[in-house]
Amino acid sequence: MKIPSILENQRAFFATGQTKDIAYRKAALVRFRESIKNHEQDIIDALTADFKKPAFETVATEISVVIKEINLAIKEIWKWQMPKKVKASLLNFPSSAAVHYEPYGTALIIAPWNYPFQLAVGPMIGAIAAGNTVVLKPSELTPNTANLLEIIITEVFDLAYVHIVQGDKEVAQELLKQRWDYIFFTGSVPVGKIVYKAAAAYLTPVTLELGGKSPCVVDETALIQQTARRIVWGKFVNAGQTCIAPDYILVHSSVKDALLKAIAIEITKAYGADPKISQDFARIINEKNFDRLSEMLENATIYKGGQTDKNDLYIAPTVLTDVSVADKVMQDEIFGPILPVLTYDKNEEIASVINAMEKPLSAYVFSRKRSFKNWFNSTFSYGGGAMNDTLIHFINDKLAFGGVGHSGIGSYHGEKSFYTFSHAKSVVKRGTWLDVPVRYAPYKGKLSLLKKFMNWL
């Protein structure tokens, strides 16, 4: 079926009003949840086939996250949908006022390859809960997961309600030529700009979940072994192919050597002496990204790791030292298992590095000094982050997740996902038993009365 026909069917289905029925949405989410649970092993197998993602990581970072989101939506959708009363203005007396939430219509969701199940289904949950119809474009770089998504979606939803469109960038370009009511994109900054430009043609509202070079600062008071363990986990889960992974470390020079030694120990603890044979370490998604990452290792000072195997798309967990901001590894988001380590002595040096780049999606600070953590948080703008850990802000559904500046526009997760895919419609209901004539023309003799009234307010 051609894309314009798919969109036409989606609009026709939305026009029936079925998706505005909360019971209908809730029932759809219940069916969706059960289908995902039934296909759990299939999801694990698909991600293993796509890039050897460990089963533990698939359950922890993909399936469990999605099930948690669906459970929350099923439980809270009635409350979220209720109009939110606000204090009425005396200028409108007598009146009442409230914000009503309505679906935008048909939403286009374009998902990435790095978490191909979770980052496709997560936004879908919010769109469905809010009452939209959905067209999903999964990544062509993870074909096994994309095919399974199509199986699940087809068995759960009417295709005019939720439709999956597979294909390469030409298909994505054709999708972006259409007029959507909402576009949700997760991916790189360059492609995000293309999506934003396409949306601008129709003034379509968007959410852009992008990325950037997320800093990880370690000061001289940090608990070194614990810090190393948490950094290694956050950096090398999914082989570093995580948009909120620590992209580089800025460590106080007085604890640099201790931190490097601790990180090396933790890498070995996590993945063994030879991570290539570990069942807990994923692979790079394709040759293009393998070559891009391999170039970053050329002429680099490798402290730990550095081994590669193109036939297996394997790059070992790697730590680089003697890194400068001018090095290739510091020019763009790494998105792989390479961790550059820079040093600082003064806070001004931290600022000079971070402020030289675009605002990151995430930032992390390891310190036991409250004043330092407060300084960092008040000095730098970033999408979200954590103190004395990595990645964990993502899993709290009470925290909206999103970027700022080049790292993204808008946010979602939990309740926020519902409101992201809803138009907030402000409505005032005016009483009829009183109609003060001051506002009506002619205005002669009323100006002084108006000024007194406004000052009184």
Give φ, ψ of 173 to 5 degrees: -65, -40
Q: What is the pLDDT along the chain (457 residues), one digit of tens a residue?
A: 799 999 999 999 999 999 999 999 999 999 999 999 999 999 999 999 999 999 999 999 999 999 999 999 999 999 999 999 999 998 889 999 999 999 999 999 999 999 999 999 999 999 999 999 999 999 999 999 999 999 999 999 999 999 999 999 999 999 999 999 999 999 999 999 999 999 999 999 999 999 999 999 999 999 999 999 999 999 999 999 999 999 999 999 999 999 999 999 999 999 999 999 999 999 999 999 999 999 999 999 999 999 999 999 999 999 999 999 999 999 999 999 999 999 999 999 999 999 999 999 999 999 999 999 999 999 999 999 999 999 999 999 999 999 999 999 999 999 999 999 999 999 999 999 999 888 899 998 889 888 888 887 7
pLDDT the model gives residue 428: 95
The residues assigned a catalytic role are: 209, 243
- How far apart (Å, rounded) are the C-alpha atoms in residues 449 and 396? 52
pLDDT the model gives residue 410: 97
Sequence-distant (6+) residues with CB within 8 A of 280 are 54, 56, 57, 270, 271
**Domains of the chain, start order:** 3-210+407-424 (3.40.605.10), 215-397 (3.40.309.10)
- CB neighbours (10 Å) of residue 37? 12
- How far apart (Å, rounded) are the C-alpha atoms in residues 269 and 282? 16
182: tokens are 């909402």
- How far apart (Å, rounded) are the C-alpha atoms in residues 373 and 364? 10
pLDDT the model gives residue 401: 97
Model-level pTM?
0.95
